[in-house]
Amino acid sequence: MTVKGIVFDLDGTLLDTLNDLADAVNAALRDFSFPERRLEEVRRFVGNGVGNLIRQAVPDHTDAETIAQVHEHFMGHYMNGLMNKTKPYPGIVDLLETLKLSGYRLGVLSNKPHKATQDLIQHYFPDVFDLVLGHRAEAPRKPDPTVLLQMPAAFNLSAEEVCYIGDSEVDVATTLAADLKGIFCLWGFRSENELRAAGGECFIHEPGELLQHLFV
Say if residue 132 is exposed, middle or buried (CB neighbours under 10 Å; 0-12, 13-18, 19+): buried
Phi then psi dihedrals of residue 131, to 5 deg:
-150, 130
What does the DSSP 8-state code read for residue 208?
A: G
CA dihedral sign, ordered 129, 120, 124, 167:
negative
**Residue tagged active-site, from 9, 11, 167, 171:** 9
Phi then psi dihedrals of residue 16, to 5 deg:
-85, 95
Rounded Cα gap, residues 57 and 30, in angstroms? 12
Is 9 noted as a catalytic residue in this protein? yes
Contacts for 157-162: CB closer than 8 Å, 24+ residues apart: 157/4, 157/5, 157/105, 158/1, 160/1, 161/1, 161/2, 161/3, 161/4, 161/5, 162/3, 162/4, 162/5, 162/6, 162/7, 162/105
Catalytic residue ranges: 9
